[in-house]
């Protein structure tokens, strides 16, 4: 019976159909044919396949196979001629997949078996040597490590783009003072670039985390074979070097059983998504008619099918919303690996969809966040007109008293009463007379007006990392230099300092 080909496209998940029991494989087409006397049930093939989603590992799989083959040559398992054929065949398969000419067939389960099968079909017997001293268990770990390494580098670059978008707007927004909030209540005034750089710091820690995670991702597992290693004298250090891994995993059972590098990556992505969701939430609020602090670029908004006036912040809402699936993916991976005994278990195949989805989601969100940050404008007049609301200068006034020798608790009480009195008169603190100040504390002098009002309060700041203009200026300069260096150095990968 001839094999029935099923075309699995990137967006077509194989559909399980309970009645589809048809035997599809020709005898001996499975990599494990020998011991079996029955062919695989069609429903099992549909249930166990991963080709519909692990096909995206093809490039990593071929890269790893070529390195493995070169190592097999160095220990005398392959001849120079066999290696040449193997490389040629593998590169041809890569082209076929890239150009959508490769036929995927559910019988061959996953990307590893597809490529090996296609190689044997192309070059015959030499292809049958590729799987020497290798198992799909170490192969899949190797592919995932290579794929994630590249993906982490891409995410790092996207984070740099978002940081760069924030830093680029710092000069133009330097004079803008915004209310800073705690509990979503007006608290103290802050310079707009101080807010922009707060996000840069968050994304910087995300980048540091990626860099650190990458060290543990970038370890070679190839050669661990199924679980116990191999009696063939392979050179694991050679394949590690060929694939640019910086370390070689020291325990074959550990290689075969663990996916902690995937969970760690999923956490890094979750933290990025969480940071993005804070930005999204803040800017959704700030772009409402109620706040009206900023105007989002219309090219990043969508309208309503019924209400003609609506300009909705859907991109930000989806960035916020997609955080749920990224966090959910992390949760799935945690539950997936809980309680799995050593070493490989087929459960681990379920690691792919969540981690691929997290990378795809976060990469897309970052790709949209950068131009959105760059294209948003601050409604400076609206912000300035309402800046005397909320007694943003009250804390600085208290600190003025502390510097005059008043104990903090006493100063807090005095300013609290002053604010209460100003509230009753419905005026800001700047509108109180010195006489009125004296009603609450004799020691006030005219200097008090130099710390009142949002601008004075910002300028009165002294501490390192505060919103004081000179502090913010210093931070902007630091960030500009850093971003310039990194953008210029765009080819540098995250672990090049290892
Ligand atoms: N597709 C499998 C996975 O992702 C590859 C490893 C299969 N190994 C096995 N012994 N069945 O986990």
Boundaries of every domain in the chain: 41-132, 137-385, 394-459
* CATH architecture of the region 137-385: Up-down Bundle (1.20)
What is the Å distance from ligand 1's center to 194 Cα? 49
Ligand 1 proximity of 139 Cβ (cutoff 6 Å): no
Count CB-CB contacts under 10 A for residue 248. Answer: 18
**Catalytic sites, residue numbers:** 183, 304
pLDDT at 35: 92
Give dist(CA 444, CA 438) in Å, integer: 6
Give dist(CA 58, CA 454) in Å, integer: 58
Quickly tell me which residue has 């009206």 as its tokens: 292
Residue 269 sits at φ, ψ, to 5 deg, of -70, -35
What CATH number is given for 41-132 in this structure?
Answer: 1.10.275.10
- The H or E element spanning position 119 is helix 111-123
User: Tokens in use for 456?
Assistant: 């004075």
- Residue with the smallest CA separation from ligand 1 atom 7 is 136
Peptide bond into 343 cis (omega under 30): yes
Give dist(CA 316, CA 319) in Å, integer: 5
**CA 220 → CA 142, 226, 248, 251, 352, distances in Å?**
7, 14, 5, 11, 19
Instruction: Report, in angstroms and rounded to the nearest whole number, the Rg of the chain calculated over CA atoms.
Output: 31
| C-beta separation of 85 from 129 below 8 A | no
Count CB-CB contacts under 10 A for residue 288. Answer: 11
Find, among 406, 256, 263, the residue nearest to 346 by Cα: 256
pLDDT at 28: 56
Give dist(CA 481, CA 479) in Å, integer: 5
What is the Å distance from ligand 1's center to 57 Cα? 13
Q: Which of 115, 136, 145, 257 to mutate to test the pocket of ligand 1 (most atoms within 8 A of CB)?
A: 136
Give dist(CA 159, CA 199) in Å, integer: 11
**219 DSSP β-pair partners:** 247
User: Tokens in use for 452?
Assistant: 């009142």
Q: Which atom of ligand 1 is nearest to the CA of 109?
A: 1
Find, among 47, 57, 13, 86, the residue nearest to 346 by Cα: 47
Strand 377-378 versus strand 294-295 pairing type: antiparallel
| C-beta separation of 143 from 41 below 8 A | no
Count CB-CB contacts under 10 A for residue 31. Answer: 15
Burial class of residue 374 (count of CB atoms within 10 Å of its CB; 0-12, 13-18, 19+): middle
pLDDT at 34: 85
| C-beta separation of 147 from 57 below 8 A | yes
| Sequential pLDDT tens for the chain (498 residues) | 344 444 444 444 444 333 334 444 554 578 887 899 999 999 999 999 999 999 999 999 999 999 999 999 999 999 999 999 999 999 999 999 999 999 999 999 999 999 999 999 999 999 999 999 999 999 999 999 999 999 999 999 999 999 999 999 999 999 999 999 999 999 999 999 999 999 999 999 999 999 999 999 999 999 999 999 999 999 999 999 999 999 999 999 999 999 999 999 999 999 999 999 999 999 999 999 999 999 999 999 999 999 999 999 999 999 999 999 999 999 999 999 999 999 999 999 999 999 999 999 999 999 999 999 999 999 999 999 999 999 999 999 999 999 999 999 999 999 999 999 999 999 999 999 999 999 999 999 999 999 999 999 999 999 999 999 999 999 999 999 999 999 888 744 444 443
- Residue with the smallest CA separation from ligand 1 atom 12 is 349
Give dist(CA 68, CA 132) in Å, integer: 9
Q: Which atom of ligand 1 is nearest to the CA of 50?
A: 1
Strand 219-220 versus strand 185-191 pairing type: unpaired
pLDDT at 26: 52
**377 DSSP β-pair partners:** 295
What is the Å distance from ligand 1's center to 52 Cα? 14
User: Tokens in use for 389?
Assistant: 């609301």
Which residues, 6+ apart, have CB-to-CB distance to 173 below 8 Å? Answer: 192, 193, 196, 378
pLDDT at 22: 44
**Could you tell me the fold of the domain covering 394-459?**
Ribonucleotide Reductase Protein R1; domain 1 (1.10.40)
Which residues, 6+ apart, have CB-to-CB distance to 316 below 8 Å? Answer: 279, 280, 281, 283, 284, 296, 300, 372
Count CB-CB contacts under 10 A for residue 392. Answer: 24
Ligand 1 proximity of 114 Cβ (cutoff 6 Å): no
Q: Which of 50, 108, 110 to mutate to test the pocket of ligand 1 (most atoms within 8 A of CB)?
A: 110
User: Tokens in use for 90?
Assistant: 């593998």
């Amino acid at each position: 019976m001839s094999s029935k080909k099923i075309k699995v496209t990137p967006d077509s998940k194989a559909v399980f159909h309970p009645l589809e029991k048809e035997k599809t494989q020709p005898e001996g087409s499975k990599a494990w044919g020998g011991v079996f006397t029955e062919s695989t049930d069609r429903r099992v093939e549909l249930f166990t396949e991963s080709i519909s989603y692990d096909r995206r590992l093809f490039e990593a799989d071929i890269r790893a196979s070529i390195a493995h083959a070169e190592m097999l040559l160095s220990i005398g398992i392959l001849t120079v001629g066999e290696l040449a054929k193997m490389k040629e065949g593998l590169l041809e398969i890569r082209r076929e997949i890239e150009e959508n000419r490769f036929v995927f067939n559910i019988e061959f389960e996953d990307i590893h078996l597809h490529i090996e099968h296609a190689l044997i079909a192309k070059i015959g017997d030499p292809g049958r040597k590729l799987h020497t001293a290798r198992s799909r268990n170490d192969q899949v770990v190797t592919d995932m490590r290579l794929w994630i390494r590249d993906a982490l580098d891409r995410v790092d670059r996207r984070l740099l783009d978002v940081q760069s978008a924030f830093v680029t707007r710092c000069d133009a927004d330097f004079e803008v003072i915004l209310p800073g909030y705690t509990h979503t209540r007006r608290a103290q005034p802050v310079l707009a670039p101080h807010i922009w750089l707060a996000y840069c710091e968050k994304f910087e820690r995300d980048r540091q985390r990626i860099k650190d995670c990458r060290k543990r991702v970038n370890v070679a597992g190839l050669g661990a074979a199924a679980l116990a290693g191999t009696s063939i004298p392979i050179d694991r250090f050679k394949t590690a070097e060929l694939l640019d891994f910086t370390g070689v995993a020291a325990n074959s059972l550990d290689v075969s059983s663990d996916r902690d590098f995937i969970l760690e990556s999923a956490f890094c992505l979750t933290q990025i998504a969480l940071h993005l969701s804070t930005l999204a939430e803040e800017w959704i609020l700030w772009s409402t008619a109620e706040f009206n602090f900023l105007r989002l670029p219309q090219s990043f908004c969508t309208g309503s099918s019924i209400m003609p006036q609506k300009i909705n912040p859907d991109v930000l809402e989806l960035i916020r919303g997609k955080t749920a699936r990224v966090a959910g993916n992390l949760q799935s991976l945690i539950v997936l690996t809980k309680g799995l005994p050593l070493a490989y278990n087929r459960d681990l195949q379920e690691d792919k969809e969540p981690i691929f989805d997290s990378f795809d989601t976060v990469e897309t969100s970052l790709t949209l966040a950068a131009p959105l940050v760059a294209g948003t404008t601050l409604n400076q007049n609206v912000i300035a007109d309402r800046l005397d609301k909320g007694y943003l200068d009250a804390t600085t006034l208290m600190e003025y008293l502390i510097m005059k020798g008043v104990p903090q608790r006493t100063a807090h009480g005095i300013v609290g009463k002053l604010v209460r009195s100003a509230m009753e008169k419905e005026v800001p603190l700047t509108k109180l007379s010195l006489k009125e100040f004296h009603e609450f504390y004799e020691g006030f002098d005219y200097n008090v007006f130099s710390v009142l009002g949002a601008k004075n309060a910002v300028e009165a700041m002294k501490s390192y990392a505060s919103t004081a203009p000179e502090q913010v200026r210093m931070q902007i300069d630091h960030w500009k230099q850093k971003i310039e260096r990194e953008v210029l150095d765009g080819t540098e990968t995250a672990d090049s300092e290892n």
